[in-house]
Amino acid sequence: MTSSPYPAIAERGYAHPEFLVSTDWVAEHKDDANVRILESNEDPLLYPSGHIPGAFEVDWTRDLNDPIRRDYLDRSAFQALVERLGITPNTRVIFYGDKNNWWATYSLWVFRLFGHTNAAIMDGGRIKWVNEGRPMTKEIPSSAPSSYPVVERDDQTERVMRDEVLNHVRANGQLVDVRSPQEFTGERMHMPDYPNEGALRGGHIPGAKSVPWARAIDPETGEFLPADRLKAIYQEEQGLSPDREVIAYCRIGERSSHTWFVLKHLLGFPQVRNYDGSWTEWGNSVGVPIERP
């Protein structure tokens, strides 16, 4: 990877600005042969209602998750997905979507499990592209199938499982809970206006810091805050140290993938993992510790 080709992003002081691109960059490069634009949303109706010309859809439930087990697609399913999308190991994949790129960072994180590091997020997401009055289309693109080698999924480098989290808690490790304050305290077991997704107990993992994911976003533009403001939140205010591993979690791993992206790529924390089991697993597990004020 190299530095960001977009000066306004590079000037924000990120550790790895190459993992962000601007809407200007996407408009200029979306038709490049070695670039693939992927839209990933929570709302399945958005993509068919209009999307960036040439952008393909990655549906987080249909494309990224196993239909039976609570797990991600396996190596052969990932190979089939990227080959259908015309992606090779050398393709620069740009993700964007709704909810300030919740599901875009989630999709990027899943691609990272299979070693595809040549990827970035379109800063500001779908809403920024729309607000700038840029072209949208309902036309579904097509691509000749590509060739992508079978890659084993890595469940250790970027992902963490429940028992590892339990050991992390016992060792007084760093955790960040990115859910709403009401979920953190146990007042709620789901986001406002969302259904309860099955957790029987409310609260948070012992020792976790409460930093709602959206604090990393400029509410006016939908873009990520500059590095100095992110450091003020995560390091100065919460005391998170880049010298120690950090585990991020939420309810099913989608919001925490957003914070994983911020800590790992924008602030440069070398050891950040996403606990995708999150509260729907932890809040139902027998015998694990829970804190409530």
What is the predicted pLDDT for the residue at 1?
Answer: 44
CATH number of 162-282: 3.40.250.10
pLDDT at 275 over 70: yes
Q: Is the pLDDT of residue 196 over 90?
A: no
Calculate mean pLDDT across residues 43-58. Answer: 97
Q: What is the pLDDT of residue 190?
A: 72
Active-site residue among 250, 252, 267, 272? 250
- pLDDT exceeds cutoff 80 at 2: no
Residue 29 confidence (pLDDT) above 70: yes
In the chain, pLDDT over 70 holds for what percent of residues?
95
Mean pLDDT of 121-135: 98
pLDDT per residue as tens digits for the range 162-175? 999 999 999 999 99
CATH code given to domain 7-131: 3.40.250.10
The residue ranges of every structural domain in the chain are: 7-131, 162-282
Q: How confident is the model at residue 7 (pLDDT cuts 50, 70, 90)?
A: confident
pLDDT of residue 8: 82
Q: State yes or no: is 250 an active-site residue.
A: yes
First-to-last CA distance in the chain? 44
- Contact between 91 and 34 under an 8 Å Cβ cutoff? The reply is yes
**Does 162-282 match 7-131 at the fold level?**
yes
- Cβ neighbors of 98 (< 8 A, separation 6 or more) are 41, 42, 43, 46, 125, 126, 127
Q: Report, as an integer, the average pLDDT of 103-115.
A: 98
